[in-house]
Each structure stands twice: as structure tokens, then as C-alpha cells.
Amino acid sequence: MREIVFDTETTGLSFSGGDRMVEIGCVEMVNRVETGRTFHAYYHPDRDMPVEAFNVHGLSAQFLSDKPRFADAVEDLLEFVGDAPMVAHNAGFDFSFLNGELTKCGRQIIHMKRMIDTLQIARSRHPGAKHSLDALCSRFGIDRSHRVLHGALLDAQLLAQVYVELMGGRQIGLGLLSDTGPGASTPIVALAPRVVRPPRIFAVSEGDLAAHAAFMKGIKDPIWGAVASG
């Protein structure tokens, strides 16, 4: 099963209120194991960068000034995403911006049935606990020491690890499958054929037996002697 874990950075909290998406990061997973394939892009927002947003992700209007507009680079993103389910933390927020940008440039939106929200999963798994990405990384022992500012690709990579833990941990990817015919699942771990070796026969020479007997006679007051006499 192919899934895309993703995160976005924006100029604010509301696409309908005039905010825009300025960064997206995606991590490909197959059977909930990262494949190593990622997608990362910055976008020119055609507006200023509010200081509140800059303080979160550190992306200035000057830095984004030479980046492509979303409409000019959308094909690369859609090709990477394909028709896979999409995983995000507080996914409704990220979907609102992604679909807002798609609508703005006349492209088909991504159906909400493809949305998987790790925030909802975390709330159901651990009610009453803290559910921010930082809190979940701490809960599962995921190193986030390099996360000084929010970054879409970095956060997606952290979320991919959190998602696996929320869904049961690394053992979920262990598949001991032997069926490789049409329509069969691809195994994550394949067992090598067992090699049966003939038993080895060790013969003890007469000299070894004599040496052992002499050694045993030299032991004073052996405990096995006391057991035998008792």
C-alpha cells in the first residue's frame, strides 16, 4: 500500500482569507515503510509574509521571490502524489491549502476520502495527552533535535515515523510472505530457504580418553564424588 505523508507551510491560517501555501514536503511510504523517495518545493505566494508566519518557518518574502508559483509547478507535485492516500497532522488544515491552490489554478482537488489525519488518530489512541508533533516525537522517542523551525519536508519525515508508531510500531511492516504470484503482496522480509546440513560426528581418540581420565584423577575431593558416595 502506497501512502504519502506530507506537510505544508503557509503565510497564515486561512486560504479563503487570502493566505497562500509557500512550501510542501512529501515522504513516500509503501506498506508503512519509507522508500527514500521525497518531494519538496517552495512557492512564490504573490503576497507579503506576515511576521507571525515568518517566526514559525523562517521563510521570507525575499527568499521566496525567485521561487515558482504553484500553478507553474503543480505537475511535478501531482505526479509524485499520484492517487495515494495522503497523511498529515491536523490534515484538514493542510488539505484546505493544497486544495485551495489546486482550485485556484483550475486543477481537480484531492478528495477528502484520501485524507488520513494523524491528529485524530493520536487523540483516539492517547486521549487527554498532548498531541502536537513535538509531543508525539517525545512520546515515541523520535529525535527532533534538528527541528529548530518548522519545515515542510523535515516535519513530514518526522510525521512518517510518528505515523508508524501510531499504527502499531515497526512490527506492522514485518511480512513473512511466500506467495509471489500475480496479485500477491510484496513481502517486506523474505525468509531464505532453510539449508539442512548433515549432523557432524566427533570421534574421541583413545589418547584423549586417557588424558581426560588422568586429569580427573588429579582433582582432590571432587564434588561429584561426594554426591556419588551420598
Cβ neighbourhood burial of 94 (10 Å; 0-12, 13-18, 19+): buried
**Per-residue b/e over 67-82, b at no fewer than 16 CB within 10 Å?**
beebeeebeebeebbe
Residue 35 has pLDDT above 70, yes or no: yes
Alpha-carbon distances, residue 173 vs 33, 124, 164, 189 (angstroms): 7, 22, 9, 8
| DSSP state at residue 209 | H
Domains recognised in the chain with CATH numbers: 2-173 (3.30.420.10)
d(CA 136, CA 117): 14
Tell me the per-residue pLDDT of 101-135, one tens digit each, with 9 for 90 and over: 999 999 999 999 999 999 999 999 999 999 999 99
* 8 Å CB contact between 4 and 10: no
Active site residues: 150
* 8 Å CB contact between 163 and 122: no
| DSSP state at residue 141 | T
* 8 Å CB contact between 68 and 44: yes
Cβ neighbourhood burial of 29 (10 Å; 0-12, 13-18, 19+): buried
Alpha-carbon distances, residue 217 vs 139, 184, 207, 230 (angstroms): 62, 66, 16, 19
Question: Looking at residue 223, what is its pLDDT?
Answer: 74
Question: Looking at residue 177, what is its pLDDT?
Answer: 43
d(CA 144, CA 135): 10
Contacts of 128 (CB under 8 A, 6+ apart): none
Tell me the per-residue pLDDT of 142-185, one tens digit each, with 9 for 90 and over: 998 888 778 999 999 999 999 999 999 865 444 444 444 444 44
Per DSSP, the chain holds a count of helices (H) and strands (E) of 9, 5
**pTM for this model (two decimals):** 0.73
d(CA 51, CA 74): 27
Measuring CA to CA, which residue among 189, 135, 190, 187 is closest to residue 165?
A: 135
Question: Looking at residue 70, what is its pLDDT?
Answer: 98
Tell me the per-residue pLDDT of 186-225, one tens digit each, with 9 for 90 and over: 444 444 555 566 766 667 778 878 887 888 888 887 776 6
Question: Looking at residue 206, what is its pLDDT?
Answer: 83
Residue 24 zone, left/alpha/beta (φ > 0; ψ -120 to 50; rest): beta
